[in-house]
Amino acid sequence: MKAPREHNREELSPEPWITKQCLAEHLSVTTRWIELQQQRGLPHIHTPGMNRYRISEVEDWLREQYGGPQDP
Structural domain boundaries of the chain?
15-66
With cut-offs at 50, 70 and 90, classify the pLDDT of residue 8.
low
Mean residue pLDDT across the chain: 86
Class for the domain spanning 15-66: mainly alpha
**Over the stretch 14-29, which tens digit does the pLDDT of each residue have?**
999 999 999 999 999 9
Q: What's phi and psi for 50, nearest 5 deg?
A: -160, 160
Q: At what angle do helices 20-27 and 55-66 cross, to 10 degrees?
A: 50
Where is 51: in which H helix or E strand? strand 50-52
pLDDT at site 69: 64
According to the model, what pLDDT value does residue 28 have?
A: 97
Q: What integer is the mean pLDDT of 43-47?
A: 94
